[in-house]
Amino acid sequence: MSAPLPSYAFGVWDAPMLGDTIGDNLDRTVAAHGSRDALVDHPSGRRWTYAEFAHEVHALAAGLIGMGVAKGDRVGIWAPNCPEWTFVQYATAKIGAILVNINPAYREHELKYVLGQAGIGYLVSAPTFKTSDYSQMIRSVKPDCPELRSVVLLESAEWAALFANGSAALSTDPDLVRRVQQSLSMDDPINIQYTSGTTGFPKGATLSHHNILNNGYFVGELCNYSERDRVCIPVPFYHCFGMVMGNLAATSHGAAMVIPGASFDPHATLETVRDEKCTSLYGVPTMFIAELAHPDFDSFDLSSLRTGIMAGSPCPVEVMKQVIDRMGMTEVSICYGMTETSPVSFQTRSGDTIEQRVSTVGRVGPHLEVKIVDAVTGLTVPRGEPGELCTRGYSVMLGYWENQEKTAEAIDAARWMHTGDIGVMDDAGYVAITGRIKDMVIRGGENVYPREIEEFLYTHPDILDAQVIGVPDATYGEELMAWVRMQEGATPLDAETLRAFCTGKLAHYKIPRYVHVVDEFPMTVTGKVRKVEMREKSPDLIGRTTETHT
């Protein structure tokens, strides 16, 4: 009898990887599609063709050189989604400066940490956003950040001067930017993204041109992008979802980047898709849930949509089905990955069955390797068995910025990136993510994966969204608690009602003992549910919530 197949796969792909820098790749796109839309800002009505976009990027790049920015210098960007964000992204790539993405939700102590840890010498920032006074926070921390030489606020005279000075420099030296661009290597670091760790300070995943350009390109390839596509990007630019899967996927194919707003708003997103006839729409599951639940959803003409990406957190089956049926996104793709892998490692294809697209994260991406290993022994497990998912290939980050210890913990000697996610690979190479190793609940010796229970709870007609966590229990070590959001007008569930719904359909040890009804879950700015915060709050809630009894 032959041994079972190991949980290992390689992304065979006919097209080779790109050997360009981001600046060179943009130049190729501009030469091929200069008259087509490159960037549209729906709120302001501003738009740029690829030729116009390249002109802005070139002027800003020259302006940054004039300010003293050199290859390898760190340039921070602290702003919500806006056209200026993309200008900075591509201008820094043109001259080899390392763009440091700063989370718009950061407060003073987080800003101070990132400025110091990355050694940011130049900062481009919005003056304010929502209730945050960025300029005041910058003034407050600047004395403690000696490496911070220059701060330029968007919409300021200094911001306008960057473009004016850059244009003037190019008029006398047209090859100013080109000379720097030609000195760059595809393997140079070009981007630092701070991962939102649940303990301690965030770590700066350092990514190269080769990392993120190829990842954006192949994500776009699997979405079948061309210059005819218009990609609506409501996800944050400061995260890989926005700047890589959105911007770089678009510019590497001549497609249009369409900004629906500074931050996510379901009405503005639906309106933008309608007005700009977008062919693709991005979002995390909570964004699609909000769009589908919009009271005027049926009044929006979304017939231009054919594809899009749902990623960032586990995608509920019921939500995925509605995205296909009600939004017309018949080719919608599931993507899975992490910042440290640029980010995408797995993606579904347009030819995949509905079942494959709703129950798995697809197959390994082009030119990448993946395996699933036993978390204790490190050995590759047979297909069909759960284990920790690992990724290797062009997408794996250079490392955490100036943090060799944490880099060594994440990337082993064979260059495998250990994700911390639990996955199961089937015989065809499709992988289902069943949870995080740290989210797994051990109840009375039974391993329980919250994702399985959450998927079942989505089938309850009154539940809009559900998250399951483990809470301490004196008898079983851990017990299950469900946080649920109810459909509008539905009667809040209590634990006994939920138990009656689950009994006979879930094993008894998988039925949540506690139920907590909320209007919203604690979220990160990228739309991921913060289960660590839920676990922190739950012990105090248990005494005030309903529970079931076995």
The DSSP-derived string for 375-406 is TTT-PBPBTTS-EEEEEEETTS-SEETT-HHH
Q: What's the average model confidence in pLDDT over 347-367? A: 91
Of 307, 313, 349, residue with least CA distance to 331: 307
Phi first, then psi, for residue 398 (nearest 5°) are: -65, -30
Phi first, then psi, for residue 388 (nearest 5°) are: -80, 135
Percentage of residues of the chain with pLDDT beyond 70: 96
Higher pLDDT residue, 314 or 222? 222
With cut-offs at 50, 70 and 90, classify the pLDDT of residue 442.
confident
Q: What's the average model confidence in pLDDT over 167-174? A: 98
* Residue range 69-79, pLDDT digits in tens: 999 999 999 99
Cα distances from 178 to residues 53, 61, 62, 225, in angstroms, run 16, 10, 10, 28
Task: Answer whether residue 399 shows pLDDT above 70.
Answer: yes
Burial of 113 (0-12, 13-18, 19+ CB in 10 A): middle
Cα distances from 293 to residues 332, 421, 459, in angstroms, run 19, 30, 16
Task: Answer whether residue 544 shows pLDDT above 80.
Answer: no
Task: List strands edge to edge, sheet with 8-10.
Answer: 8-10, 368-373, 387-393, 417-425, 431-436
Of 312, 431, 307, residue with least CA distance to 362: 431
Q: CB under 8 Å, gap of 24 or more: what pairs does 439-443 form?
A: 439/469, 439/470, 439/531, 441/468, 441/469, 441/470, 441/478, 441/480, 442/470, 442/477, 442/478, 443/470, 443/473, 443/476, 443/477, 443/478, 443/479, 443/480, 443/509
Quick one: pLDDT at residue 198? Answer: 42
Q: How many CA atoms lie within 13 A of 213 on its CB side?
A: 25
| Averaged pLDDT of the chain | 93
pTM of the model: 0.85
Q: Residue 527 gets which letter from DSSP?
A: S
Quick one: pLDDT at residue 548? Answer: 56
* CA distance linking residue 19 with residue 187, whole number of Å: 9
Neighbours of 150 (CB within 10 A): 14
Higher pLDDT residue, 76 or 455? 76
Task: Answer whether residue 549 shows pLDDT above 60.
Answer: no
CATH classification (class only), 442-547: alpha beta
Neighbours of 439 (CB within 10 A): 20
With cut-offs at 50, 70 and 90, classify the pLDDT of residue 51.
very high
Asked, colleague to colleague, whether 22-423 and 442-547 share their fold, the answer is: no
Quick one: pLDDT at residue 266? Answer: 98
Quick one: pLDDT at residue 318? Answer: 82
* CA distance linking residue 442 with residue 130, whole number of Å: 41
DSSP H helices, 316-394, are 317-327, 354-359
Q: CB under 8 Å, gap of 24 or more: what pairs does 410-416 form?
A: 410/340, 416/371, 416/390, 416/391, 416/392
CB 148 within 8 A of CB 120: yes
Q: How is residue 354 written in tokens?
A: 């509905």
Quick one: pLDDT at residue 196? Answer: 63
**From 236-250, 290-304, 507-521, the region with the lowest mean pLDDT:** 507-521
Give the end-to-end CA distance of the chain in Å, rounded to a whole number.
Answer: 44
Q: How is residue 187 written in tokens?
A: 């393997």
* Residue range 8-45, pLDDT digits in tens: 999 999 999 999 999 999 999 999 999 999 999 999 99
Task: Give the distance from CA 206 to its chain's centroid.
Answer: 15
User: What number of residues does the chain have?
Assistant: 550
Domain ranges of the chain: 22-423, 442-547
With cut-offs at 50, 70 and 90, classify the pLDDT of residue 178.
very high
* Residue range 111-159, pLDDT digits in tens: 999 999 999 999 999 999 999 999 999 999 999 999 999 999 999 999 9
User: Would you tell me which CATH number, out of the four given (3.40.50.12780, 3.40.50.2300, 1.20.1250.20, 3.40.47.10), belongs to the domain 22-423?
Assistant: 3.40.50.12780
Q: What's the average model confidence in pLDDT over 276-301? A: 95
Q: How is residue 21 written in tokens?
A: 């820098």
For CA atoms 524, 527, 528, 529, give the dihedral sign.
Answer: positive
Q: What's the average model confidence in pLDDT over 539-550? A: 68
Of 188, 234, 238, 240, residue with least CA distance to 209: 188
Of 272, 66, 47, 46, residue with least CA distance to 152: 66
**Helix, strand or coil for residue 240?**
helix
* CA distance linking residue 344 with residue 240, whole number of Å: 9
With cut-offs at 50, 70 and 90, classify the pLDDT of residue 550.
very low
β-strand pairing of 333-337 with 344-347 = antiparallel
CB 71 within 8 A of CB 183: yes
With cut-offs at 50, 70 and 90, classify the pLDDT of residue 202.
confident
CB 10 within 8 A of CB 369: yes
